[in-house]
Structure 1
Amino acid sequence: MNMIPDNTPPALRTRGLRLAASAGLLALLAGCATSHTDSAPQATASVPEQYQDWFDGGRAHNLEWMHKQTVKKADKAIAAGNPREAIRLLGLLTDKDFPQAHYELGKLYDQGKGLERDPAKAARHYAEAVRTPSYILGHASLNLAKLYRAGDGVERNDLLAYHLLRQAIREEVGRDARLMLADLLVEGGEGVKANPERAAALYAKAAEEGHEEALLALAEAHGPGGWLEEDPARAMDYAQRYAETLRQRASAGESEAMIELAELHAPDGVLGDQPERRLHWLRQAAEAGDEDALSDAGNALLEAGKTRQGLAMLEEAAKNGDVDAMTQLGRALSERRPGEARRWLEEATRQGSLDARVSLGRLLLDAESGATDPRRGIELLEEAAQKDDPLALAALGDHYMNGDVSATQPYIAVDYLKRSHELGHPWATQLLGTAYLEGRGVSADPQRAEALLRDAADQGQSAALGLLGQAYLEGETLPLHPSRGEELLQAAAEAGETSAMTTLGEAYLAGPLEARPERGLSLLRQAAEQGDGYAMVVLGRAYRKGEGGLPRDLDKASRWLSRARDAGHESADAAMTRVNRDLGAQGNIEALVKAAEAGDPGAMADLGRAFLEGKGVQQNAAHARTWLGRAAKAGHDGARADLGEMLLDSDPERAVTLLRSAADRGHQGARLTLGRAYLEGGPVAADPEQGVAYLRPAAEAGNPYAALLLGQAYLAGQGVEADPEQAEQWLTQAVESGDVSARANLGRVLLRGEGGVPRDGERGRRLLEQAVDQGHAGAMATLGREYIRGDFLSQDVRRGADYLLQAAEQGHASARLALAKAYLAANGLKNASREQALLWLDGVMQGDSAMASQTLHELLSDDEAIQALQAEGQAASG
């Protein structure tokens, strides 16, 4: 008890009481505490009237010496563990308004010595002690200020706490009044203005008085983000002085000082992140007998990445019977060694740990743990939930909303989440916000969702910021607001949320945010390096497609997707298959085989075509049929069209079935093949009308080859009534689509006026020459014949021979035959066989091209050769 020492002479004791009382009265008279107005510089309101007598000097009081023996007896009763007797004795004195008796009773109820703590009763007795000035006025004021500052047993009141603390300081109690007042003035309170400078002065004075906590407060104040001007040197000086006081206590064997020294070297400690020093002091504390230090050291090692040592230390603490260490060890082992984790959590649960019960329940519901036991997991969590454990309620809500081991039940989930949210668990608040966002288990309510998610974020759930940001980017459940989404995702990413990094990185590469490929790549790589499988997939896709200004790089895409597959991301295989297919299109047949063997229909079709055409592999019709057949069976229309065309000669019935299936689903290639087949007949019975029916939709869709075939059909009246106008229209459409064959065909028709199409020699010649420029051998042959005949073009046999020679060099059959016959005529060998002539022509043309051209020109200058060419031209035209 705070009493004047018993060995003080009575005269001095009385004098001390009088001086104490006088000091209090003088202070009151000087205006340090007012009756009606508050002259204190930081107070923004008057002291309420009902508390004025705490500060007005009070009424007369009984002297302590008169009741000395009664107080001593009460003191002995407390020491003997008989608080009831102490209360009785002190009650005799409180009836006489003796302030010390009220103070001692206040302490008894405040500290709960031998009886249940009752801060409300403590506050009432402290208030009575404060009303009467005495030597314990300062102590009573300080104790009462603490209760009002914390709202402990009384309603929190910063203004009263402020005045009580000032009164305690004036009374020079020599305790932590300056510290408390400094704490209050750092940020201020209701009715009290903040005054950081005054707070710093109070801390400095408290430090002089030996309060080491003041040194720590000043170190933090001058450190990064502190409430005073940042001053690293000053902050470190205060931190070192504080550490020195702790080291002195630690050297005396005080484990609490060792623990505090360890905290100074934590990542957020004022001496900076020094894992080795932190671990040193935790070990010292453990050796000094601190039961929690060993497990704290184990956790520190885990945080520092020293997993093996951390687990070993936790295991040592657990084997020593530390139940919290068993729980922490179980949690740490959950992903690494779930079976061992379960054993430790089971043991901690048997020893009554509620935290272990919850952790074990969650482990048994984790589908990836290998220790799944849903029934027991739910039982354990339900037992904890019955005790209103907020984490257990949140875990049950998560299980019923998103569980992997049983069917989801969103409505039940929401009930658990609401209970946990009401108990203040931020994870439950986030999950509940997500439920309102998605409308799962509750009606969708974007405003409620946003409020809950922001609440969760304010409580440290940075993932909630990411969820909000993503919702604003998507613009589905919340209004589209890209800039707000970007801001929220950035905040979540800065807090270390890998999913937010991935979402933001993807948005910078593929939209909807403005393209920032370098920033997007940086975020995605950061998330990927932290193990986010989806970030790896996004990187793979981005390099595959060349998104966001990235260069297309299939090798990089393959590397990232391989990592995503190794990380177990479910979409990695499908994305990798597409990359392999793209690599196959670039000639990497091994990659194409991998994609095909993985079951990708497009890759199977590509591999079938490769075997069909001999591209990258040896041509093999059987393999082509196999892979095209597998792709067709998987629903690939292109494969059905290719296989159908391939089988037209050998298996027309199956071919038509495949082609019709693809054509009915809109595949233009299948429509073209069927249209041509029905027009020409052969493998299938000719059906020109059916052929035109297949060609028309493809031609109307803009397919130039379909337009060409349809134009030819109208020209010849094949399957439709001959219609020169329609013929020219479709052939023109094919020409405008860039089809060189259509250009050659329409040029010939217009040059000669075939099929009733009005003749347009100039346009026809121009189209034929354009086709020649594009390398069309038929156009070369047509121009050659026409120049030789001279019917539709001014006769120029030499020029015509040039065109025929070009056509022959490209393998055009009729051009080659015309040249061969001209050779026979020029050399009087009309009876030589056609085969001999063609062999001669091949021999000439395979030699030097310039010499071949000169030789042929010389041969064709003969009149008989010219006549032969003219006759051949007439025959060909006929």
Structure 2
Amino acid sequence: MTKTILTLPRTGQSPGLRLAASAGLLVWLSGCAALQQPDPHVSGPPSAKYEDWFDGGQPRNLKWMHKNTLEKADQLLEAGKPYEAIAQIESLMQQGLPQAYYEMGKIFDQGKSVEPDPARAAMLYSESIKTPSYILGHASLNLATLYREGRGVERNDVLAYHLLQQAMDEEVGARAEVALAELLAEGGQGVSADPALAASLYRKAAEAGNEAALQALAEAHRPGGWLKADPSRAQEYAQRYAEVLERRAGNGDVDAMAKLAGLFSPDGLLGDQPQRRMHWLTKAANAGDSDALSKAGRALLEGDNPRQGLTMLEQAAQNGDVGAMETLGKALLEGNGIPRRPDQAQHWLSAAIAQDSVDAKVTLGRALLTGEGIPAYPQRGVELLEEAAAQDDGLALALLGSYYLDDENKASQPLVALDYLKRGHQLGHPYATQQLGELYLEGRGMPADGQKAAMLLNEAADQGQTAALRMLGEAYMEGEVLPYHPSKAEELLTRAVESGDVSAMTALGQGYLEGTLKERRPSRGLALLEQAARKGDAYAMVVLGRAYRKGDGVPRDLQQAQQWLTRARDAGHSSAEDALAQLRYDQGEAGDIEALVKAAEDGHPGSMASLGEAFLNGRGVQQNLRQARIWLQRAASEGHPGAAADLGRMYLEGQGVQRDPAKGARYLQSAAASGHAGARADLGEILLTGRGLPADPERGMRLLEQAAANGHDGARLALAEALLKGEHVAQDTQRGLELLRGAAEAGDDYAAQLLGEAYLEGNGVTADPQQAKTWLGRASEAGNLSAQTLLGTALVRGDGGMTPDPARGRRLLEQAAEQGHAGAQATLGRELLRGENLEQDRRQGADYLLAAARQGHETARLALAKAYLTANGLENANREQAMLWLNEVMDGDSEMAAQTLHDLLSDEAAIDALQQVSAES
């Protein structure tokens, strides 16, 4: 058999000459000269290498014998003998007949009994139009379609435009008008849009009853279409389109039935009409349309007859419909309205995967990853999702990103997740974009970047991800990565709530209740939280429980707190048990210690620790250090860091146990390793000072820095003192003052006391009596008795350059002394005995010294013991004997003790000795 070899012309962009659209047939028959006339629709005429497609010439048509050959070729094609048919047509091609090239082109274009070969079809069509014939218009139209779609040739809209004009000039009819209208409706590469001309072409074709034109005009006049919105005209064209389809469907055309079903779908041109849609889907399915069978099954599955839908889907799947396999597998996996059948679900999804279904890979991969509906098999789930991701499936990439961010499955690899999510975002998948924004917000595996996070989350929100709105709202409410912006937070969270996000409802309710939004609205917050709780949000239950426990925004009600927290625990919220333990602790303090004991006996570590603390501090129960140690040890053995920290302090101080600094340090180290800021602070101080353990100032400072960074006030103050005084570490006065000032300005009275003391004594700074007075005054007003005593003493004595004010100083000291401050009592006692800064009053001075000595105040005890020795002529006697006497006096009856001391102070020598000791103090 002789084989004709043809050369396919290469396509490219046309030069910048323009054609006149209105020239019609004359343009193409008048040759190249006419091509010089400009056409406003295109960037130029066809390239010179395509001139012979348009330059006319002597027509050549088939003779009767040639037509017989083509008819014979058609018969051979219908008989399934493509090679014999091709041989017949090739015999005509060798004679240079355009119609032969055209018929051969159709065979490879449409895949008539052969594999489709659009490149070969384009080559054949191009040969067919080089010589004019009665098929010139049809061949031009088919070739234009290939160039428009870029099938087998490089897409070239300009060349397609000229070919379509040629088809119209050949009066091909509505098909050419529709194809050109489609190009002009929105324009193309090098082709300007002309909606008015497109509409005119469509209307002309529509008058001839062309389906594509009727459909295009109905869509064009809908809201968002490329013509002015006109619902009535859209409806008119859609109805005419339906009538044409119904005529075809009445003649048994299955494609028309399927299209009619689409017209009545939720987004169809004639609106959602489920019964009419099902009517045509069922007719198409009964006529043997597998796709219609699948769609009908899906519609029934999602509608009011899921069992019939399942039957139809099974039939379509058995017929090899991959979409039906996907839908069937997913339905049997999820069980919405039908019994779950995990084995069958896997069977059909696997069958679809064997046909390279990406959706089936994602559905089954997701289920195997999470164990939803079938036993979890993460390794296989990841494999399937990675296969889908390799095929650029955005959801697969988003799910892989989520998997590698999940700490629970021990697969957390933020950088791997970042790569998957970036790819998913580039493909435009909103869930990937949302997760990527969340990743930048949290700073997992990278520094947090609020600007990128906000951009990505806003993009995801615009794509319908309501969780992205919530994340943005929460971030603006927290004011950490994004700036604190309560009004923006409220707006975003409200939008998320309106979109049905229950978690956003909880966040908004919490913000209103706790006052982290622009204004505190407890009643509104309570209503939102209760609504979210009714919808099953366990965290809303936790927030409500905590609010009632603390009385935050609502009246304190431990019974209500218990109800909400119990519901949260039953709903499976991880923090509910700890919150219940705190509640039981509160109940214990309120007298219901049984609640706390019960929780501890049930084995909850937090409750064990709380019960241990209750026994340790005597809160709600009588102090019992043995029971404290038992419960704290049980909690610590379960890994509770707070219990380990408490035990560490007990062993360091010998509180209820034999003092064992090494053992105490081990407990503190265990708690510190778990991130307990208090343990880090305590261990840091020990290592800094070497109290009970070998000193390690460098490590001690490091631990104090860590604890301070976690917000531990004690660590911050210990750091400040060490840096200010230069004890055990290099002195850094400026930083020490900065730490103290920051804490003092934040309302820490002890920090204010230390700051005032530093300025009073000139410790690390230049003495400044005014600053000392200011900071000690602030601490005193906050109820700090030590600061009040320091300020009172300085005002009485004029210490640190402070202007003396004995009357005010005495008032401050008396107030502190009346509240039991031993230092204030000792100072008043000494000053009243000396009579230098305050009017002398021996009896009252002795009373104050006795009160201070009873509390163990060392200098007060020493002064009284010295007076006793002197009064008895025993100035050089053993001081321990004097202390024993003093202990016996103070351990006895208080009135007798006071009288004994008054009698002692009637001795002038004793008074002199007492005044001498007071002066030395």
Counterparts of 1:396 and 1:463 in 2: how far apart (Å)? 6
**CA contact 1:142–1:168 (8 Å) conserved in 2:** yes
**Which amino acid is 1:362 matched to?**
G
- State the match for 1:513 in structure 2: 482
The offset of 1:149, in angstroms, is: 1.9
Matches within 5 A, 1:570-585: 573=573, 575-576=575-576, 579-580=579-580
- State the match for 1:863 in structure 2: none
The offset of 1:95, in angstroms, is: 3.7
Over 3 Å counting, the alpha-carbon distance change for 1:314 and 1:496 in structure 2 is farther
In structure 2, the gaps of 5 or more residues are 1-22, 543-565, 669-677, 693-717, 726-735, 741-747, 758-766, 861-890, 897-901, 916-921
- State the match for 1:362 in structure 2: 365
- State the match for 2:808 in structure 1: 766
**CA contact 2:369–2:376 (8 Å) conserved in 1:** yes
**Which amino acid is 2:786 matched to?**
A
- State the match for 2:494 in structure 1: 522
- State the match for 2:659 in structure 1: 653
**CA contact 1:34–1:55 (8 Å) conserved in 2:** no
Counterparts of 1:79 and 1:243 in 2: how far apart (Å)? 32
Counterparts of 1:57 and 1:101 in 2: how far apart (Å)? 18
Counterparts of 1:42 and 1:509 in 2: how far apart (Å)? 54
- State the match for 1:820 in structure 2: none
Over 3 Å counting, the alpha-carbon distance change for 1:568 and 1:381 in structure 2 is farther
Counterparts of 1:746 and 1:47 in 2: how far apart (Å)? 99
Over 3 Å counting, the alpha-carbon distance change for 1:262 and 1:393 in structure 2 is closer
Counterparts of 2:482 and 2:664 in 1: how far apart (Å)? 45
- State the match for 1:43 in structure 2: 42
Check if 1:209 corresponds to 2:211: no
Counterparts of 1:393 and 1:786 in 2: how far apart (Å)? 81
Over 3 Å counting, the alpha-carbon distance change for 1:353 and 1:345 in structure 2 is farther
Q: Deviations over 1:47-100 (max 9, x none)?
A: 111222222222242564574444444444444444444444444443443333
Check if 1:462 corresponds to 2:430: yes
Counterparts of 1:660 and 1:97 in 2: how far apart (Å)? 99
The offset of 1:185, in angstroms, is: 1.1
Over 3 Å counting, the alpha-carbon distance change for 1:698 and 1:38 in structure 2 is closer
Counterparts of 1:696 and 1:392 in 2: how far apart (Å)? 56
Counterparts of 2:719 and 2:412 in 1: how far apart (Å)? 52
Counterparts of 1:59 and 1:75 in 2: how far apart (Å)? 28
- State the match for 2:178 in structure 1: 179
**CA contact 1:361–1:378 (8 Å) conserved in 2:** no
Aligned-partner SS, 2:357? helix
In structure 1, the gaps of 5 or more residues are 1-23, 411-430, 441-448, 678-692, 713-724, 815-833, 840-866
The offset of 1:181, in angstroms, is: 0.8
**Which amino acid is 1:768 matched to?**
R
- State the match for 1:489 in structure 2: 457
Over 3 Å counting, the alpha-carbon distance change for 1:601 and 1:668 in structure 2 is farther
**Which amino acid is 1:171 matched to?**
E
Counterparts of 2:507 and 2:277 in 1: how far apart (Å)? 40
Over 3 Å counting, the alpha-carbon distance change for 1:656 and 1:474 in structure 2 is closer
**Which amino acid is 2:474 matched to?**
E
The offset of 1:740, in angstroms, is: 4.5
Matches within 5 A, 1:261-340: 261-273=260-272, 278-300=277-299, 311=310, 314-315=313-314, 317-318=316-317, 324-336=323-335, 340=341
**Which amino acid is 2:97 matched to?**
F
**Which amino acid is 1:131 matched to?**
K
- State the match for 1:445 in structure 2: none
Counterparts of 1:621 and 1:116 in 2: how far apart (Å)? 89
**CA contact 1:158–1:189 (8 Å) conserved in 2:** yes
**CA contact 1:361–1:376 (8 Å) conserved in 2:** no
Check if 1:666 corresponds to 2:667: no
- State the match for 1:742 in structure 2: 786
- State the match for 2:705 in structure 1: none
**Which amino acid is 1:640 matched to?**
L
- State the match for 1:640 in structure 2: 647
Counterparts of 1:501 and 1:743 in 2: how far apart (Å)? 49
Aligned-partner SS, 1:134? coil
**CA contact 1:120–1:152 (8 Å) conserved in 2:** yes
**CA contact 2:245–2:259 (8 Å) conserved in 1:** yes
Matches within 5 A, 1:576-655: 576=576, 579-580=579-580, 605-611=609-615, 615=619, 624-630=628-634, 634-636=640-642, 639-640=646-647, 643=650, 648=655, 650-653=656-659
Counterparts of 2:665 and 2:607 in 1: how far apart (Å)? 20
- The alignment's TM-score, normalised by the length of structure 2, stands at 0.62
**CA contact 1:381–1:392 (8 Å) conserved in 2:** no
Counterparts of 1:243 and 1:631 in 2: how far apart (Å)? 75
**Which amino acid is 1:513 matched to?**
L
**Which amino acid is 1:371 matched to?**
P
Aligned residues: 731
Q: Deviations over 1:267-312 (max 9, x none)?
A: 4433445556544543443344432333323434566798777556
Matches within 5 A, 1:109-508: 109-273=108-272, 278-300=277-299, 311=310, 314-315=313-314, 317-318=316-317, 324-336=323-335, 340-346=341-347, 349=350, 353-355=355-357, 358=361, 362=365, 365-369=368-372, 370-372=374-376, 398=400, 402=404, 435=416, 437=418, 452=423, 455-457=426-428, 461-470=429-438, 473=441, 482-483=450-451, 485-497=453-465, 500-508=468-476
**Which amino acid is 2:154 matched to?**
E
* Bigger radius of gyration: 1
The offset of 1:776, in angstroms, is: 3.1
**CA contact 2:73–2:86 (8 Å) conserved in 1:** yes
The offset of 1:141, in angstroms, is: 1.7
Matches within 5 A, 1:54-69: 54-62=53-61, 64-65=63-64, 67-69=66-68
Counterparts of 1:872 and 1:580 in 2: how far apart (Å)? 64
**CA contact 1:748–1:782 (8 Å) conserved in 2:** no
Counterparts of 1:166 and 1:695 in 2: how far apart (Å)? 87
**CA contact 1:740–1:771 (8 Å) conserved in 2:** no
Counterparts of 1:247 and 1:612 in 2: how far apart (Å)? 87
Counterparts of 2:665 and 2:82 in 1: how far apart (Å)? 100
The offset of 1:246, in angstroms, is: 3.2
The offset of 1:208, in angstroms, is: 1.0
**CA contact 2:395–2:431 (8 Å) conserved in 1:** no
**Which amino acid is 1:666 matched to?**
A
**CA contact 1:508–1:519 (8 Å) conserved in 2:** no
**Which amino acid is 1:366 matched to?**
L
Counterparts of 1:748 and 1:397 in 2: how far apart (Å)? 67
**CA contact 2:752–2:779 (8 Å) conserved in 1:** no
The sequence identity of aligned pairs, in percent, is 39
Counterparts of 1:290 and 1:28 in 2: how far apart (Å)? 46
Counterparts of 1:157 and 1:770 in 2: how far apart (Å)? 95
Counterparts of 1:177 and 1:125 in 2: how far apart (Å)? 19
Q: Deviations over 1:566-599 (max 9, x none)?
A: 9999x98554456556656876979978997898
- The alignment's TM-score, normalised by the length of structure 1, stands at 0.64
Q: Which moved more, 1:609-618 or 1:372-381?
A: 372-381
The offset of 1:210, in angstroms, is: 0.9
- State the match for 2:865 in structure 1: none
Counterparts of 1:286 and 1:752 in 2: how far apart (Å)? 104
The offset of 1:182, in angstroms, is: 1.2
Counterparts of 1:741 and 1:393 in 2: how far apart (Å)? 64
**Which amino acid is 1:517 matched to?**
A
**CA contact 1:747–1:765 (8 Å) conserved in 2:** no
**Which amino acid is 2:682 matched to?**
H
Counterparts of 2:599 and 2:518 in 1: how far apart (Å)? 27
The offset of 1:111, in angstroms, is: 2.8
Counterparts of 2:93 and 2:683 in 1: how far apart (Å)? 104
